[in-house]
Amino acid sequence: MINRKLLIKVCSALLTLVLSLYCFSGLFGNVARAGNESVVIDRIVAIVNDDIIVLSELNEKLKPYTDRIAKMGYPPEKEKKMIYKVRDDIISTMVDQRLTDQEVKKFGIIIDDEEVQGAIEQIKQKNALTEEQMQAGLAGQGMTMESLQKNIRDQMLRTRLLNVAVRSKIVITREDARVYFDSHPEEFRGEKKVHLWNIMTTTPEFAFEAEIKSGRDQMEKVLARLDSGENFQVIARELAAKNEALVANDIGVFSFGVLSPELQTAVGNLNAGEYTGILDTDNGFQVFYVQKIEAGAGKQFDEVVAEIQEKLFNERVDKRFEEWLSELREKSHIQIIR
């Protein structure tokens, strides 16, 4: 009795050999002859298990990119390298598509015409298009309704394959979401706000050294009064009444994140009623006072658990899909023919 598995392997090997010989000779499909010369119209560029990718398919997908690159005005050598890079990327994508198409058949996934037409109607409604407008738009892109239907069907088949082969095997538990919530407090606590005052010098931008020193000395005296326990607002009102070289300002309430990095560092660990040391800023010497801190309205775990689960699910789907595709490549027969 003939060993069926052995027969399949032999046939597959013979198919690969025959196709490779065709490619080596530059002949596959149609060949146009001019005198004694042969001009290749189509040839194989990749073998993916029992499927092939031919040059005409590759060129069709490559053309929009080569046209765009040609308009960029690069030197010939750089243009050539860019086209080769794009060509390799497109072949890789086409190989992945062939592999997923094969898996679609393996799982017996089917998308009927009604589903495809429903997707097209959604596109029309979303973009407020009539049938005539859609047809005209497709023609402007060099497409037909038949090619659109094929593209939509292919995308729907691959999406359903993703659901069967990848999504259905991923589960995000409430405990997973809790671990994420606890380890990313910055995402869920509300941003605090601070009500700031300052006392600052009014030294001119191009002041003499003596003027700068005088301003610093006055700020030192203010800081000493604060350190002795005097109330900031009392000192501020006094300075306002004297109208001298130091001024006090109620700056206002700010979300902590909008403050400059330097000011965040200076006031970040202060409580209400506390003040900074003397800061040398572009606007002169300053002391900042935190009048009030408003805690942000943070979110509770139950409010965001569904949001976290969706985020983690999508991240794991992306990662698992890449792993699944890599595994699929490893166990498949793939031959790229340059």
- pLDDT (average), residues 74-96: 92
Burial level of 203, CB count in 10 A (0-12/13-18/19+)? buried
Parse the chain into domains and list their residue ranges.
168-185+299-326, 191-294
pLDDT-wise least confident of 43-52, 134-143, 221-230: 134-143
Q: How confident is the model at residue 307 (pLDDT cuts 50, 70, 90)?
A: very high
Q: How confident is the model at residue 24 (pLDDT cuts 50, 70, 90)?
A: very low
Sheet holding 279-281, edge to edge: 246-255, 193-201, 284-294, 279-281
Amino acid making up residue 184: H
Share of the chain above pLDDT 90, in %: 45
The string of pLDDT tens digits covering residues 237-282 is 888 777 667 888 888 998 877 888 888 888 888 899 999 999 988 7
* Comparison of pLDDT for 71 and 25, the residue scoring more: 71
Q: How confident is the model at residue 331 (pLDDT cuts 50, 70, 90)?
A: very high
- Note the pLDDT of residue 27: 32
Q: Do the beta carbons of residue 111 and residue 160 sit within 8 Å? A: yes
C-alpha to C-alpha distance for 285 and 55, rounded to whole angstroms? 71
Give the number of other Cβ atoms within 10 Å of residue 302's Cβ: 8
Q: How confident is the model at residue 214 (pLDDT cuts 50, 70, 90)?
A: confident
Mean pLDDT of the chain: 83
Using DSSP, state whether 256 is helix, strand or coil: helix
* Comparison of pLDDT for 49 and 12, the residue scoring more: 49
Q: What is the CATH number of domain 191-294?
A: 3.10.50.40
Torsion angle of C-alpha atoms 33, 36, 42, 44, degrees rounded to 10: 150
Helix extents (H) in 127-208? 131-140, 145-165, 174-183, 185-188
* pLDDT value at 20 more than 80: no
Strand pairing report for 284-294 and 37-40: unpaired
The string of pLDDT tens digits covering residues 62-79 is 998 998 898 888 899 999
- pLDDT (average), residues 165-186: 91
The model's pTM is 0.52
The string of pLDDT tens digits covering residues 114-158 is 999 999 999 999 889 899 998 888 888 878 999 899 999 999 998
* 281 dihedral zone (left: phi>0; alpha: psi -120 to 50; beta): beta
Helix extents (H) in the chain? 4-25, 55-70, 76-107, 113-126, 131-140, 145-165, 174-183, 185-188, 209-227, 232-242, 261-267, 301-330
